[in-house]
Chains A and B, each alone.
Chain A
């Protein structure tokens, strides 16, 4: 059972805006940055968002991150078929903790 709680699945149609939530507590999300990773089947995870709302170079600005209190969110606007993947949130809580992952389906 993961320390951070994510919905197991999310879906949207091309062009839509989709949000994936990540819920934690005061000792993790509440007091640390949040990170988001994207993982395609059979591949290693890839950094998508760092320090809650920063995008590494090469990540489209369709992806954005935010945090409020002990919850964080990843928003994907202008949804594309190639965004279909698993998404994991992560933060620190005297160690690295990951969410359980959300499988995003583009309908």
Chain B
């Protein structure tokens, strides 16, 4: 069974750096047709794609957030990490990790983790 589990909910202060982890089980991060994305959803708003890491370690970022985002993976630990710098209250959202399959579909999602940015 494939599962994705985001790290625990977190409260960060404005200007701080956010670090989120997605623990993967049931498939390998080195599988050639699989990749993993981070997607967020502010309260009551739409989904927003943030970043993606491919099996070959190639990365892709949202153009509007590129300067603030870094995604990396540790295949041996089956984990993907997202860091976002200079957090702002508008970054308050539920952050999801989701697997991208060979059909380019997000076929498996984590339950999401709530990130609150407040002083």
Interface residues of A (CB under 8 A from B): 2, 33, 35, 37, 43-47, 50-51, 54, 56, 88, 90, 92, 95-101
Are A45 and B106 in contact (CB-based, < 8 A)? Answer: yes
In the complex, what's the smallest C-beta–C-beta distance from B34 to chain A, in angstroms?
14
Are A47 and B110 in contact (CB-based, < 8 A)? Answer: no
Residues on A with C-beta less than 8 A from B16 are none
Name the prevailing secondary structure of the A interface residues.
Answer: strand
Interface residues of B (CB under 8 A from A): 37, 39, 46-49, 52, 60-63, 96, 98, 103-107, 109-112
Residues on A with C-beta less than 8 A from B37 are 96
- Take A44-B111, A96-B37 as given contacts and tell me if A51 and B49 are in contact as well, using a CB distance cutoff of 8 Å: no
A19 CA / B53 CA spacing, docked (Å): 34
A88 CA / B49 CA spacing, docked (Å): 12
In the complex, what's the smallest C-beta–C-beta distance from B53 to chain A, in angstroms?
13
